[in-house]
Amino acid sequence: MRPVATSASLFADVAKENAARYDHPRYVTRNGDDEMPHTLALTETLRQHLTTLVEQIGPRPTGSSGNQRAGQYLKERFAEYGWLVETPPFDCLTWEPGIASLRCDTAALHTHANPFSPPVEGTFPAFAFDSPEALEAAGSQKGRIVVLTGALSGDPFIPLNFPFVSFEEQQRVMKALIAAEPAAVIGIHPKPLFCDADFPIPSLTVDPSGAELLRTCRGELTIAIGGKTIRSIGRNVIARPRRLPSPKIILTAHYDTWFGTPGAVDNAAGVAVLLGAAALLDSAESPVEFVVFNGEDHYASPGEVQYFTGDLGQIALNVNVDGVGAQEHLTGAAYLGEAPALFKSIRAIQADFPSVVEGEPWYQSDHTAFLQRGIPALALTSTPFDAWLERTHTAADTLEGLDFERIAEAARFVARVVEDSLRGSASD
């Protein structure tokens, strides 16, 4: 792979020059009442893509029927824009929800199903633990329900065999639970604490609204967990020009969703940005590869694993789009990795796009896998980062929460980054 420093020559001194001469309507940004008709047409086109993904297809968990429909839709759209498209398959597990209930005497607690949990049904005594030391010291918990409290319910657990990152303390807790062999484990959190087909203990998450009832419950808990884990097939969607220069820019977004959410901000909006860039760019020779991942919200990230086990070729930059377009939020561009000259040039481009601002570093998406391989990344999301996360992975992540114009502007920004790189390569 070419060192990152030399890939910066694709951009050096080109962005500033192009900023003065770029008058193509596809790059015109919003300016009061002076929006170009082409700009409005792009916004409407992306709205149609988003309506299809979010409302007509809906939830798209990896391997589900909705996921497979979405993959076919994306394949057809990239092909219509003139790109060569591949959809390599991979084996995966998907999940269908079932019963998820917990009762203390006659009172029912508000619960969240943990995807891929093994089933269980029965009434068991419950014992609470607030540290891994206490859990390890207690020994066997057969025939009991273990309730995780305090810091043990602080954050959702990274899956046991997640390929890209792990947290030692969480691994310690999960291994202690496996050794203790309880009938079930209960956590307290606004969203499911576990999503892991490799974790063999039945589990359920209680919403914080039920924490006090759970804490004061005396005696036994009655639990019922259903659901079905199913073997399936998933596919990434990869689109390339007919002639691919090297090094290349990799544009990424994931099209899968969490279970039960239509996934507008997370991440149909990111997919729409890639489709918009695909419509704007020259499909014959742009130095770009579109990788629409299938698995970012899956416990095992099977689409990402498939892609990164292959030959990546020479990559100058990853541009990852995840969570853009949230209403009342600008698009934050995080510049990650070591590429000062390259990033200086892209910042000059960014200045032409009013709704794209520099955002804080964040790592909770597919660009982290590129960073781990020494590839710089430009990560786009809505900013401030934490302010819009509450509705993600919920049924509330709908079209009503999107700003379509800002999604279109993000697409033009991404296309401009690629176009400037092409001009820079030609002038080297």
pLDDT in tens, 252-308: 999 999 999 999 999 999 999 999 999 999 998 899 999 999 999 999 999 999 999
Percent share of the chain, pLDDT over 70: 89
pLDDT in tens, 178-235: 999 999 999 999 999 999 999 999 999 999 999 888 888 878 999 999 999 999 999 9
In the predicted structure, residue 32 carries a pLDDT above the cut 60: no
pLDDT in tens, 66-105: 999 999 999 999 999 999 999 999 999 999 999 999 999 8
CATH of domain 98-226: 3.50.30.30
pLDDT in tens, 301-347: 999 999 999 899 999 999 999 999 999 999 999 999 999 999 999 99
What length is written for the chain? 428
pLDDT of the residue at 123 = 97
CA distance 251 to 274: 7
Q: Mean pLDDT across the stretch 384-396?
A: 87
Range(s) within the chain of domains with CATH label 3.50.30.30: 98-226
pLDDT interval class at 38 (50, 70, 90)? low
pLDDT of the residue at 4 = 29
Q: Mean pLDDT across the stretch 391-397?
A: 93
Q: How far is CA 39 from the centre of its chain?
A: 27
Tokens of 296: 């970012």
Quote the crossing angle between the two packed helices 404-427 and 269-280, to the nearest 10°. Answer: 40
Give the per-residue SS3 of the chain. CCCHHHHHHHCCCHHHHHHHHCCCHHHCCCCCCCCCHHHHHHHHHHHHHHHHHHHHHCCCCCCCHHHHHHHHHHHHHHHHCCCEEECCEEEEEEEECCCEEEEECCEECCEEECCCCCCEEEEEEEEEECCHHHHHHHCCCCCCEEEECHHHHCCCCCCCCCCCCCCHHHHHHHHHHHHHCCCEEEEECCCCCCCCCCCCCCEEEECHHHHHHHHHCCCEEEEEECCEEEEEEEECEEEECCCCCCCEEEEEEECCCCCCCCCHHHHHHHHHHHHHHHHHCCCCCCCEEEEEECCCCCCCCHHHHHHHCCCCCCEEEEEEECCCCECCCEEEEEEECCCHHHHHHHHHHHCCCCCEEECCCCCCCCHHHHHCCCCCEEEEEEECHHHHHHHCCCCCCCHHHECHHHHHHHHHHHHHHHHHHHHHHHHC
**Ramachandran region, residue 224 (left: φ > 0; alpha: ψ -120 to 50; beta: rest):** beta
The architecture in CATH of the region 4-93+233-427 reads: 3-Layer(aba) Sandwich (3.40)
CA distance 103 to 214: 9
Q: Using the Cα atoms of residue 50, residue 51, residue 55 and residue 56 in order, give the sign of their dihedral.
A: negative
Mean pLDDT, the chain, as a whole number? 89
pLDDT greater at residue 182 or residue 9? 182
Tokens of 180: 């203790």
Range(s) within the chain of domains with CATH label 3.40.630.10: 4-93+233-427
Percent share of the chain, pLDDT over 90: 81
pLDDT in tens, 226-252: 999 999 999 999 999 988 778 899 999
pLDDT interval class at 106 (50, 70, 90)? confident
Q: Identify any residues that bridge with 145 across adjacent strands, giving them in sequence order.
A: 126, 184
Q: Judge contact between 292 and 255, C-beta under 8 A.
A: yes
Prediction pTM value = 0.89
Cβ contacts of 203 within 8 Å, gap of 6 or more? 114, 117, 184, 185, 186, 187, 193, 194, 225
Q: How far is CA 243 from the centre of its chain?
A: 29
Q: Mean pLDDT across the stretch 24-30?
A: 38
pLDDT in tens, 295-305: 999 999 999 99
